[in-house]
Amino acid sequence: MKVASYLTTPIYYVNDVPHIGHSYCTLATDTLARFARMQLGNNEVFFLTGTDENSQKTVDAAAKAGVSIEVYLKDMAARWQSTWDTIGISYNDFIRTTEARHVDTVHELFQKIYDKGDIYKGTYKGLYCTGCETFKKSSDLNEAGRCIDHPNQDIKHLDETNYFFRLSAYEKPLLEWYEKNPDWLQPRSKKNEIISFIKSGLEDVSVSRETAEFGISLPMDPAHKVYVWFDALINYYSGIRTPEREHFWESAFHIIGKDITRFHCVIWPAMLMAAGIPLPKGVFAHGFFTIDGTKMSKSLGNVISPVDLSVQYGNDALRAGLLSSFEFGSDGDFSAENFAEFYRTKLAGGVGNLFNRVTVLITKFCDGQVDLNNAGLDLKPEFEKFESLLEQKQLKGAYDFYFATVDAANQRLNETEVWKLAKIDADAASKIFTELFDYLVLLSEMAVVLLPESAPKMRAMIGLEGKVGAAQIMFDSGRTDK
């Protein structure tokens, strides 16, 4: 059997611009994709991201901007894609839900489920929040009768003919699936939440909108549009429908935020079961973070742009700073102050300083040539530890381990005072230089995944066959002490 890895991010709504919350999810997936490439090779990894465009939000935002929907979408999708390019995301494809390849796949799946009898026509009478693009019950609303997450938007009262997906029929198959595949949804706490939700009883869900102005028309009733979530989830499947990509499906793994777990872990697997398509290999739901203890929101004016952070500190700082601030899978907090401190101590003062000091000393005392005949250090177990942390998706753990390794190398350097030793015992110093060099090699290898833009600079400084190369500028861009 072919080994492969297919990783996906959620597709983002285009009515917003990318902020560091979205970037967190994309950077986490990027890290796992880079790790998978390291283990399986580039050709066996496929990383998909994209934009969720068939939404009422799009119609409203285009009207507000005073442009046509097409112009608005083209512009915004390009903006999302160029943000990912700017911050160094290694996606293999970018999917837009207005593309023909996606529309065709949605039609195909909708028809398949309809033909099976699991989509039927009925009437939906109830509430709808455009902010969440979700049908609501009155128990979901706050005291003022508004959506908890979108209190500034009016709740719509719908009374329309809709097509329904027979989700209720999948209660038992879903519970059996979770029973047989206990690690399918991680972390475990999220899985427990989903299981209790399923056990509390599943109702059929509306999967079309009669009054929607924009979206994918139903194959059997073109006056109706496919409900945006039913359409959006299918993107993961649309993205690999070519002969060279098809084999990736069985290794599909979705990285999502905890806010969209029910869609991905109840509705999506049920849709796939109904369509007779094998389920993906797994889902990981990460937590949300606040900024200085407060929810990130436009109205509070505390939204941070990933591009601003990247311009000031560089892409590696952005990814390391976000992914190491709290456990992947838990909620956390981000503060500009802690980020600046992290940059100063761990990156500039830690990694950058270590590479500079060691290569400068080797140049000064050994004419730039490390003696590779010395025993050196066996750092294989360290590399295995790094691999095992990433296999368990412990992203913060992997970064913590990286910085602990930098500290260990710095400690070796300081304890041995090799710059003094070199003047009195060249042989003893030579052995220490080889050990320090081994640390640099290990750090440069782990950097391929954790600090990918610095990794080639590290390799250039390490040079070839023990002959160190020219100094490189690393973690110097945002320094306040320059």
Q: Match 């991010």 to its residue by tokens.
A: 9
Active site residue 298: yes
Give the active site residue among 74, 107, 150, 396: 150
Identify the helix (H) or strand (E) that includes residue 85.
helix 69-86
Packing angle of the helix pair 315-323, 20-40 (nearest 10 deg):
100
Give the active site residue among 57, 102, 147, 191: 147
- Give strand pairing partners of 119: 165
**Residue ranges that bind ligand MSP, judged by CB under 6 A:** 10-13, 21-22, 24-25, 52, 232-233, 235, 256-257, 259-260, 288-289, 296
Active site residue 366: no
CA distance 209 to 223: 9
83, 307 Cβ separation under 8 angstroms: yes
Active site residue 295: yes
Measured from the Cβ of residue 175, the count of other Cβ atoms closer than 10 Å reads 13
Q: Is 176 or 331 the residue whose CB approaches ligand MSP more closely? A: 331
Measured from the Cβ of residue 207, the count of other Cβ atoms closer than 10 Å reads 24
Give the active site residue among 25, 57, 102, 129: 129
467, 303 Cβ separation under 8 angstroms: no
Q: Match 């990433």 to its residue by tokens.
A: 390
174, 270 Cβ separation under 8 angstroms: yes
CB of residue 182 to ligand MSP, shortest distance in Å:
23
Measured at the alpha carbon of residue 145, what is the angle toward residues 140 and 150, in degrees to the nearest 5?
70
Q: Is 58 or 315 the residue whose CB approaches ligand MSP more closely? A: 58
- Give strand pairing partners of 208: 226
Query: Residue 54: what residue type?
Result: N
Q: Match 């999948």 to its residue by tokens.
A: 170
Residue 454's closest CA among 391, 406, 389? 406
Active site residue 132: yes
CB of residue 422 to ligand MSP, shortest distance in Å:
49
CB of residue 100 to ligand MSP, shortest distance in Å:
19
Q: Is 274 or 421 the residue whose CB approaches ligand MSP more closely? A: 274
Active site residue 129: yes
Residue 93's closest CA among 142, 151, 49? 49
CB of residue 51 to ligand MSP, shortest distance in Å:
8
DSSP reduced 3-state for 6: strand
CB of residue 54 to ligand MSP, shortest distance in Å:
10
Q: Is 150 or 385 the residue whose CB approaches ligand MSP more closely? A: 150
Residue 442's closest CA among 363, 354, 313? 354
Give the active site residue among 19, 57, 102, 225: 19
Give the active site residue among 64, 116, 125, 295: 295
CB of residue 453 to ligand MSP, shortest distance in Å:
23
Q: Is 19 or 457 the residue whose CB approaches ligand MSP more closely? A: 19
DSSP reduced 3-state for 431: helix
CB of residue 282 to ligand MSP, shortest distance in Å:
16
Q: Is 24 or 342 the residue whose CB approaches ligand MSP more closely? A: 24
Q: Classify strands 332-334 and 289-291 as parallel, antiparallel or unpaired.
A: parallel
CA distance 445 to 226: 47
Active site residue 147: yes
CB of residue 383 to ligand MSP, shortest distance in Å:
30
Give the active site residue among 74, 107, 112, 132: 132
CA distance 142 to 155: 11
Q: Is 79 or 172 the residue whose CB approaches ligand MSP more closely? A: 79
CA distance 65 to 60: 9
Give the active site residue among 172, 298, 364, 420: 298
Q: Is 102 or 457 the residue whose CB approaches ligand MSP more closely? A: 102
Q: Which residues are catalytic?
A: 19, 22, 129, 132, 147, 150, 295, 298
